[in-house]
Amino acid sequence: MFGRFGLEGMSVPKDCEPEVCRVMDEQRLSPTCAGLNVPNLQECKAIQISTVPPGGNPCPWKHHSGEDDVLVCLDGHRCSISEEGWACCASNHRGRGQCPANLPMMCTTLCSGITEYCCKKEGECTPRVCPVLMENYYELVVPITTTTTTVPPGASLEGADDKEQVRVPEGWWVWLLLFLPCFWGGIGILYCKYRIDKIAPESDAHVPTTMDYENDKFGRYNVVRMPARDSDPVMPRCGIVMPELPAVRPLGLELVELRVIRVYPWGAKHGWKVGDIIVDIAGTQVRDFAELWDRIQVERNRPPVRFTVERWSVIPTLEEEEAADKGLRSIAAAQAIADADKHDASKFGSKSRGSSKIGPDPATMSAEALRDIGTIRADDALRAEPGVPGAMHGWDNYEEDESSWDNSE
């Protein structure tokens, strides 16, 4: 113990042994001594530190005696258990030092006295350990030797590794069982995909335009498909030039955002059609009605103004259909008024030829004529009655002739 502190050749006197054991017993549970296996008071007295010579072995119980049924005492005496019993070391030989070879493990439990620790087989009890403070210093030091070799690498030696040995790792058959189903399953999927593509190819370029009777023997046939077309074709664009933009109804159109749903004469005169979608004005793109109206106000003072529209055969919206129906009704009503005017003019002409009055015949002005001169709109023609006389002359004569005409009928 003292040799580890540089005091080689010193031993603990007999009188100091109780004090040394007391100090060890007090400090054995302190944090600084944790892990050093410091003995308690009883274990320290059993070691008998004062009797251990300098350089001696304070813990002989780490090894067995080397003989069956033979104990080695702390003073070195050897005794037979069969002849002298288990207490052969307790009386005059300071206690047990080593257990017999057939019971090599000295346990931490006492069988009798203060030095008679039990001997059992390995694994049957907790082995008795040696305190770190009392271990011989040379037993704790691990010798380390660094050596170098002058032999060149094996790869450079001629004939050293001529044959490379390939070793298959253990458990390779498990990976083989997992690999084979995946491998053959992948091949099966590829084969099925090949058969499907062969029967019904994905690309239209490989589909023949005529039926092949050779492929119909076992129930298979080729499908004739339409040629590929663009699903979203670009709508053609055209330009419309407006010579001027009046303050009221500048385009002669009715719009829903940027789509034309109704065309008036001013718009039809310059080429507008129902279904046109306004794209830009004078090269400036518009995205909604607000931008369209703002751009019209800007370009109003810079005629002529060019409009770019998209025109395609699109399905008309509900508002466009209603506007088209209203236009058809207006045309039908105007045609009916024109026919009635012709009928009335023929009757008035026959009466005027038999009359002695001198002057122009009373005439009527149809809604078509009034619409052309701008006095009424096509909507007003729906409310007009056929045969209404003009407001210029002949109203009195019209009443007289109408009464006589009704009586004659």
Given a cut of 50, whether residue 251 has pLDDT beyond it is yes
- Report pLDDT for 191: 92
Q: What is the pLDDT of residues 112-170, one digit of tens each?
A: 777 788 998 888 888 888 877 676 644 444 556 666 666 555 544 455 455 667 777 88
In the block, residue with structure tokens 């059609």: 273
3-state helix, strand, coil in the chain (%, to 5): 40, 15, 50
In the chain, the domains with their CATH numbers are 2-140 (no CATH), 237-314 (2.30.42.10), 333-408 (no CATH)
Instruction: Band the pLDDT of 320: cuts 50, 70, 90.
Output: low
- Report pLDDT for 188: 93
Given a cut of 80, whether residue 283 has pLDDT beyond it is yes
Q: Distance (Å, rounded) from C-alpha 387 to C-alpha 338?
A: 9
User: Alpha-carbon Rg of the chain, whole angstroms?
Assistant: 63
Q: Distance (Å, rounded) from C-alpha 345 to C-alpha 341?
A: 6
Instruction: Band the pLDDT of 245: cuts 50, 70, 90.
Output: confident
Given a cut of 50, whether residue 403 has pLDDT beyond it is no
Arithmetic mean of pLDDT, 361-375:
43
Instruction: Band the pLDDT of 216: cuts 50, 70, 90.
Output: low
By C-alpha distance, which of 166, 68, 78 is closest to 119? Answer: 68
Q: What is the pLDDT of residues 27-41, one digit of tens each?
A: 777 777 776 777 777
> Higher-confidence residue: 309 or 58?
309
> Higher-confidence residue: 381 or 273?
273
> Higher-confidence residue: 58 or 158?
58
Instruction: Band the pLDDT of 366: cuts 50, 70, 90.
Output: very low
Query: Which has the minimum average pLDDT: 28-37, 245-254, 264-273, 321-330?
Result: 321-330
- Report pLDDT for 220: 58
In the block, residue with structure tokens 């008998």: 48
DSSP assigned state of 376: S
Contacts of 76-84 with CB under 8 Å at 24 or more apart are: none
- Report pLDDT for 185: 92
- Report pLDDT for 140: 47
- Report pLDDT for 71: 86
Q: Are 118 and 107 in contact (CB under 8 A)?
A: yes
Arithmetic mean of pLDDT, 256-269:
88
- Report pLDDT for 63: 84
> Higher-confidence residue: 313 or 90?
90
Residue 222 CB contacts under 8 Å (≥ 6 apart), including other chains: 207, 208, 211, 212, 215
Q: What is the pLDDT of residues 60-100, one digit of tens each?
A: 888 888 888 888 888 888 898 888 888 888 777 778 888 99
Instruction: Band the pLDDT of 194: cuts 50, 70, 90.
Output: confident
> Higher-confidence residue: 8 or 37?
37
pTM: 0.32
